[in-house]
Amino acid sequence: MPFFFFDWTFYLLIPALLLALWAQGRVKSAYARYSQVAAAAGMPGATVARQLLDRNGLQNVGIEEVPGDLSDHYDPRTRTVRLSAANYHQPSLAGLAVAAHECGHAVQHAKAYAPLAFRTAFFPVAGFGSRMAIPLFFIGFLFSAGGGGNLTVLMDIGILLFAAFVVFNLVTLPVEFDASRRALAMLQGSGYMSQTEVGGARKVLNAAAWTYVAAATMALLQMVRLIVLRGFRD
């Protein structure tokens, strides 16, 4: 959530910004490398995803192709695994890893995995918080500077709303790590990848996981920044 007018508290965000840049570079590098490595199974991501879902009794979960690069996701509302074009059609290690990861989310949903259930239910609250927190805080911060003490309550509300966004990012971590764990287990256990190939898939998924760590770190440090700025009005 951006809040980038410059003052000394901006320096609090630098570690998270550096981590985010590193994570993005790492995931792009790993994906680019292993999207060029064909899986010995010779099946595209969509086929492997369909078979993995069926093996887990999830014939009711659909698979769709979506535009974009690395736009893959699982939609719990419609029970649909959505794969970007490259991962849908190509039999690469990266494509199979990503497809299996999204199937991991579908399995989580079917098994009522608590962190996923919480994240799904909490999403509207976090979304509202991410949209409203900074505008409310910014209004309170600006207009309380001239002695408008009553407006500091807007800053407090903004911090509380942003806290919901932070919680959402933190809960996302176990959800994503667990989906990757399930993905690797399914790929190897079902014979779609050898031990050597699983090593490449793991690198792709681990690199992707760091983007979620970076997002959670940014959210936490942003909240620390809001709290520090709030202290300027006491």
52, two tokens:
């993995």
Coil, helix or strand for 83? strand
The type of residue at 54 is D
84 bridge partner residues? 66
Catalytic residue among 64, 102, 176, 197: 102
Burial profile 89-116: b = 16 or more Cβ within 10 angstroms, e = fewer: ebbbbbbbbbbbbbbbbbbbbeeebebb
Report the alpha-carbon distance of residue 135 to residue 98 in Å, rounded.
36
CB within 8 Å of 25: residues ≥ 6 apart:
none
Beta carbons of 23 and 15 less than 8 angstroms apart: no
Residue 182 CB burial class (10 angstroms; 0-12, 13-18, ≥19): buried
CB within 8 Å of 14: residues ≥ 6 apart:
none
Q: Is 176 among the catalytic positions?
A: no
Report the alpha-carbon distance of residue 81 to residue 99 in Å, rounded.
8
Write out the catalytic residue numbers.
102
